[in-house]
Amino acid sequence: MFLSYRRHLVPKILLMPDLVMTADHCVSHGKAIQVIAGAHDITTEETSQQIIRVTKRRYVRLGKDDVALIKVKI
């Protein structure tokens, strides 16, 4: 699962079916982002890939760590 932002692909972790976690510095700029699920090879377009709409973003700063929680529409 990857997050697409300004042509950059950022790995993320699926916490729940509608909640993903990634690095805050990759998504906190307020720009449009996409969640791409089912991607095994990011260099090619695969039939298993799905682009999922982001519905909410939550940011949590834990000391020097930066974590973003992203709610997606399933």
What is the pTM assigned to this prediction?
0.65
How far apart CA 49 and CA 39 sit, in angstroms, is 5
pLDDT in tens, 51-73: 888 877 776 666 677 788 888 88
What CATH number is attached to the domain comprising 17? Answer: 2.40.10.10
Q: How many domains does the chain have?
A: 1
- Each residue's pLDDT tens digit, 11-64: 677 778 888 888 887 777 766 777 878 877 777 888 888 888 887 777 666 667
Structural domain boundaries, residue 58: 2-72
